[in-house]
Structure 1
Amino acid sequence: MTTTRDSVTDFVGSLEDDISRIAICGTSYSDIGGVARVIEQQAVELRDEGYDIEIFTLEGTRKPPEDVSLHALGHFETSPYKEVDKLLTLASLSALNFVRSANRFDLIIAHRFPFSTLGHAAKVIHNVPYVYWSHPSGSSDELFEGLAHIWARVQHHLETKNYAVRKADYLCAVSEESGEYIEAKTGRESIVVPNTITESRFEDVADEETINERFDLTPEDTVVLHVGRISPRKNIHRLIEAFQAAREEETECKLLLVGEESMPEYSERVRELAGDDVVLTGFVDDETLAGVYKRSDVYATCSLSEGWGLPLSEASYFDLEIVAFESIPAVKSLSNTHQVAEENYGEFSEKLNAVLDAGTMTTEEDD
């Protein structure tokens, strides 16, 4: 039977070990990416409970929480391909120093490869308890071609079936679905700790006039929002098609796509599909993001696979109606959600249209 903990502090507090100093590790601590958000939330929550926290990452461009140290081990700025850094780091001096000094920690929480391997090395050498925090709910290799396809398969293996994952002291997952998935891959029972948002990120909120002016919106526009990188993994092209099918005759409705365009070829495909009713904002800071959430009317995503779906939690925090496939774990835990059968784009358009027409609808439970 899967164990569930309400929060990361609840999980850490349940451990028998005497824990004071914790290393939280992940591939990226930047202004974009769901894993970075989870690391930030864990660091803030554990710090507030009196733990001494340090963050280790490959790319560390975001300012860490107050009283939390940040260490960047990678070399993303000089690597031709960022994914290469995940392999290069294992053979780097910075990784060796991390393992050598890991005995100063009482617990290591590792999000994704290569910190799963480094966490396991610290466990073997120093007997430091190591937690692997699992995010994937499925492989995404079918979304890519060539070397990217091969690497997606390799990386998925490293984050599910790899020896370092299977031998973690504790195996945590961000949702029941993700927990069941990692259990099937490792044969290990997982501990489910649902994601939560870092509310302090949204203390400053850009006003509606600023948002309208910046993104060419009128006060009368109804806004459908999506937050996340512009990538095949997020299925952005199908979201645009579903939105356009839902609003064929509606002129005062815009789809706002908030996220970094990190894949030029895919971005070009998305822009070719997008009409005047679709706005690509690129990356925005937290104050602007909060203002966008507050300005929007509906949150919609056609993503097929998420470990949790943190932007949905953020949308719920701002009381937005949410339209998403039922395969996204967050949909089942949040209010104001309208669940759609996976890959049923006709139903998706119908529900999105109904939500927009109604203005304020009952939740999925009342449908």
Structure 2
Amino acid sequence: MRIGMMTDAYKPHVSGVTSYVDLNKRALEALGHEVYVFTFGDLEHPDEDPRVIRSPGLPLSDTGFYLSLRHSTQAQRIIQTMDIIHVHHPFMSGRLALIYGRKRNIPIIFTNHTRYDLYAQTRVPLMPAEVSMGMLQAYMPAFCENTDLVISPSRGMEKVLRQYGVTSHIEVVPNGADLQPFLSAAPLSREKFGFDADDILIVYMGRIAPEKNLELLLGAFAGVSRAVPRTKLLVVGGGQKEHEEGIKEFANELEIMDRVKFTGTVPYAKLPSYLAMCDIFATASVTEVHPFSVIEGMAAGLPIVGIDSPGIGDSIADGETGLLSVDDLASFTAKLTALCLNKDLQKKMGAAAQEASHQFSIENTTKIMLSHYTRLVSNTKPIKPSIEERLRSVLKEFLE
């Protein structure tokens, strides 16, 4: 099967979506399928994979995203040879998927990876929430109705899509993760980072970005560190330089910089060993849909402390694999403090989290997704291009 993944951003940009596309591409190719990625920008990036097709775009600051209204002629021609198109962003890539795919009657699947309502509030804080929600309610229902299948990575995100006004059928398919490296990783030396063996080491792993709510996490850690002196915080990940500097300044204002270590961006292959040396995984993000980093933390045997929200609440069994808090500084601080004070509970929840992580293995989720691909392809008869269209395409490419 020829599968086209259409995404607004791809490697070298680091995000849950780019990780998802890369991991699923490799899993599907291991089963013998041809998987292409169609994206924008980073034309100079040394792609070793000839099936990553990049089209020009205008960079949007240093976000890793590019603005474009069309794919190159070469990309369009290849897209129209796919058996199925899987879209991972609804706006640029989603609109273009409908334009290119519908000409050939190619089935189109859309996975909603992002809380666009909350993302808009953090990225464009001056925009009233009612305006951003109104825009989503105007766009998303019609877009989803024009696809052949809508995928939500969690039940919580399915409910959010319904709030957007989406009435189309939605299948829930969790984002799969490659668990094996995290199940058996050897821990790094704590001494290398200035931590002691008996420190209670809390880790946050993910992008440093406004929507990740790191201010609340740092505020909670400041409270925890006063109650439990042996606690330390490891922040693994990078982000936009301006926001990184702002977060470090906030930690300095809280007078906790001597207890917090920022690693910056870490190669993905090394992440399992970072997690393996820690005791607790904590995140205050409420914008997740089905967070890779949380699943990977579970696979590493760490109990999770998070906020009860779509994505996080779908992944964590409160009181079993971790602790869930309301979106409130005092509540989050109390939950994190309670777990730091109970070593036996950390071990018990960590073991349960590792066991629960197996349901999210890439092997399981790929089988589910592939069954949807197969069903849609078998029920759809593609339309071949006419001779005139093929000649027009060749002429257009020659002129470019």
Q: TM-score, normalization: structure 2?
A: 0.74
Return the index of the structure with the highest Cα Rg.
2
Correspondence 1:313 to 2:295: yes
Cα distance in 2 between the residues matched to 1:334 and 1:84: 30
Cα distance in 1 between the residues matched to 2:174 and 2:183: 22
Structure 1 position 204, deviation (Å): 9.3
Distance verdict in 2 for CA 1:269–1:38, change over 3 Å: closer
Cα distance in 2 between the residues matched to 1:289 and 1:158: 38
After TM superposition, list the pairs within 5 Å mapping 1:152-167 onto structure 2. 153=132, 157=136, 161=140, 163-167=142-146
The equivalent residue for 1:8 is none
Q: TM-score, normalization: structure 1?
A: 0.80
Correspondence 1:101 to 2:78: yes
Letter in 2 for 1:166: E
Cα distance in 2 between the residues matched to 1:351 and 1:159: 39
Cα distance in 1 between the residues matched to 2:65 and 2:224: 42
The equivalent residue for 2:234 is 256
Cα distance in 2 between the residues matched to 1:155 and 1:104: 36
**Cα RMSD (Å):** 3.3
Correspondence 1:344 to 2:325: no
1:311-367 deviations in whole A, cap 9, x for unaligned? Answer: 110000001010011114244334653343431322211111111111131449x9x
Distance verdict in 2 for CA 1:34–1:63, change over 3 Å: farther
1:150-204 deviations in whole A, cap 9, x for unaligned? Answer: 9x94997399627444311111111111122223422212111101212366599
The equivalent residue for 1:49 is 31
Correspondence 1:216 to 2:194: yes
Cα distance in 1 between the residues matched to 2:4 and 2:21: 10
The equivalent residue for 1:15 is none
The equivalent residue for 1:283 is 265
Distance verdict in 2 for CA 1:149–1:157, change over 3 Å: same
Q: Percent same amino acid among aligned pairs? A: 21
Contact 2:7 2:38 in 1 (8 A): yes
Distance verdict in 2 for CA 1:235–1:71, change over 3 Å: same
Contact 1:323 1:337 in 2 (8 A): no
Letter in 1 for 2:2: R
Distance verdict in 2 for CA 1:228–1:74, change over 3 Å: farther
The equivalent residue for 2:168 is 188
Distance verdict in 2 for CA 1:223–1:236, change over 3 Å: same
Correspondence 1:171 to 2:150: yes
Contact 1:183 1:190 in 2 (8 A): no
Letter in 2 for 1:352: L
Distance verdict in 2 for CA 1:27–1:247, change over 3 Å: same
Cα distance in 2 between the residues matched to 1:163 and 1:350: 43
The equivalent residue for 1:121 is 99
1:259-297 deviations in whole A, cap 9, x for unaligned? Answer: 113151463244332421111111001233111110110
Letter in 2 for 1:323: V
Task: Give the 3-state SS of the residue equivalent to 1:90 in structure 2.
Answer: coil
1:125-146 deviations in whole A, cap 9, x for unaligned? Answer: 2211111111233512222447
Residue segments in structure 2 that go unaligned for 5+ positions in a row: 353-400
Cα distance in 2 between the residues matched to 1:281 and 1:160: 39
Contact 2:141 2:168 in 1 (8 A): no
Contact 1:74 1:85 in 2 (8 A): no
Correspondence 1:131 to 2:109: yes
Cα distance in 1 between the residues matched to 2:262 and 2:152: 32
Cα distance in 2 between the residues matched to 1:178 and 1:242: 26
Aligned length: 337
Which deviates more from structure 2 when the two are superposed, residues 261-270 or residues 123-132?
A: 261-270
Correspondence 1:22 to 2:14: no
Distance verdict in 2 for CA 1:30–1:199, change over 3 Å: farther
